[in-house]
Chains A and B, each alone.
Chain A
Amino acid sequence: MNNLREKNHILIEESPGQWIGEPVKVLRVLGVVEAGFPTPAEEDLLDTISLDEWLIEKREASFMLQVKGDSMYDAGIRTGDMVIVERTDSAKPGQIVVANIDGAWTMKYLRQDAQGFYLEAANKHYGVMRPKEDLQISAVVKAVIRKYE
């Protein structure tokens, strides 16, 4: 096995089965805010969920990208934001999708009309993008994350 690793030039080896990354931090869900106090029994019914689990539905198909530019400004997505996307081959009109256009990742609304699918920015300074052949959609946007210092 070490020989094989050597052949493959594996540089960094993790022990098998270990999740990469830091352990998930846990946030407690303390019940829906309503008038009155939640009773302990109600609280017990809700499980703790990590921010990770809350943001990421299908972990194995999820990726992150960093936003550049202002084409999705009116959708509340700014340059520097991180987006969590999920790979799929069944994006629906109305979703914000990531497509491969001329060798770069583009994030736009997916739209559909009589002529077929097209991409639309959330910024009136941008036109719509109609594919010459087929539109290659790689993923749909599931979450936007902006961290403040």
Chain B
Amino acid sequence: MKRTGNQEFKILHVDGDGFFASCEVSRRPDLKGKPVVVGEERGIASAMSYEAKRLGITRGMPIFKVRQEFPQVTILSSHFELYEQFASALYSILAKHFANVEWYSIDECFAEVPLSYMERFGSWEVAIGNLKKEIQGSLGITYSFGVADTKVLAKVASKLNKPDGLTILREADRVEVLARTPIGSIWGIGYRSAQSLDKLGIKTALDFINYPVERIKSRYAEPILAIWHELHGTRLHSVHTSHDAKKSMQATRSFAPASNDPEFLFSELSRNIEIACRRLRAQGLATKTFGVFLKPKLKLKARSSAQITLPEYTQNPSDLLRAVREVFTTELFNERHLYRATGVSVFGLVDKENIPEDLFGKSEAKQDRDSYLLALDKVSEKCGAGSIFLGSSMRSITKRSKEFEARNAKDNYIANLPLPYMGEVY
């Protein structure tokens, strides 16, 4: 890992404020300034507006309980497509300004902001303030911005003045800020680590960085040690620029209600594999090693996963599916568990052109076999994604589209538009 001097650039973290709820409210002007909870279709609150947070509603609260105790709250279904559209708009504005931008999660991005960028505005406050104005003026929702020397500190900074915050965390203020930051709220410190650190008397981030590094090293794994250094201002985590993230690709989708129907689960996997392979083909990439997983409904249970290495590089979903079929009942599926998501990650991606002849398209037969895929891609392009799919994905597609259509009809949402849909205008 290359370490770069902190003087060349700082790290910006941009974090959505009650993101799903903000997106929903942005298309419902009648709900502006009102308590709103998102997650009706899942039966639990998955996001809430700050007005709802102030009432004491928390993430994970059952919807029936919200209804009972807070009748004044508006409860909405989620529209993930809409959130993704907002997410890509945020990413592309940042990518216009900075060369290195990481799309970290649906409502968060990191970016490396060079000092030369700041100097054009005279100060960090003005530089990031202008950027914030541009982003919020375009998207119509608020984000909290944090600037610091490391990713972990930038995450601390963006949290400091939520919502609609802008915090430049300077070296001079670092210690004071860490003193009032509970260690459990630091990015990468999970519930269990926080508990075990607490037993050592470490309550705040400052307690943590004052703890001798040798003792951290002997007790904890590498990631916790990295956090220790990052909180000291030593940059260990770099911004993983999203547009050249060629090494791996993921396709994950969840569903509600949870299911233990093996046919449905396999069909969900099948669909994800198709999506991943279509992306591979679109970018001229091929994979050889991939992982598939089923995510159980109960969070306590570890997800079951299998890593598979194929005999040769491929972009063909059938090659992956054949291998998954072999391990599905033995390594993945357990009928005693309910699952809420499936996914596939393809690794070690290579440009199709760079694969030696004997590895890719080894025989003419394989090339012939794969050529139909490109034809299928053309059809999909013409008739819409989902117009052609493998038989094994069938159940996933019919089930999903029925549920999806019913929900969209109910809340007047038009899906699959090229831009975020803001509702009806009179």
Contact = CB atoms under 8 A, between A and B. Distances in A.
Interface stretch (B5-13, B196-204, B315-323, B412-420): B412-420
Contacts of B42: 9, 11
A4 B151 CA distance: 15
A88 B299 CA distance: 43
**Which of under 10, 10 to 19, 20 to 34, or 35 or more describes the interface residues of B?**
35 or more
A11 B426 contact: no
A105 B423 contact: yes
Chain A interface, DSSP helix/strand/loop, else mixed: mixed
A136 to B, nearest CB: 9
Interface string B239-251: 0001101000111
A11 B78 contact: yes
A53 to B, nearest CB: 11
Contacts, number: 149
A17 B423 contact: no
B252 interface: yes
A20 B88 contact: yes
A9 B422 contact: no
Given A3-B190, A20-B81, A9 B59 contact: yes
B252 A12 contact: yes
Interface in A1-34: 1, 3-23, 25
B424 A66 contact: yes
A98 interface: yes
**Which of under 10, 10 to 19, 20 to 34, or 35 or more describes the interface residues of A?**
35 or more
Contacts of A58: 138
Interface of A: 1, 3-23, 25, 52, 56, 58-69, 71, 82-85, 87-89, 98, 100, 103-107, 138
28 contacts: A6-B299, A9-B46, A9-B47, A9-B59, A10-B105, A11-B78, A11-B254, A12-B80, A12-B253, A13-B250, A13-B252, A15-B249, A15-B250, A16-B104, A17-B242, A20-B85, A22-B381, A22-B384, A59-B419, A61-B89, A61-B139, A63-B420, A65-B423, A66-B424, A87-B140, A100-B29, A105-B424, A106-B426
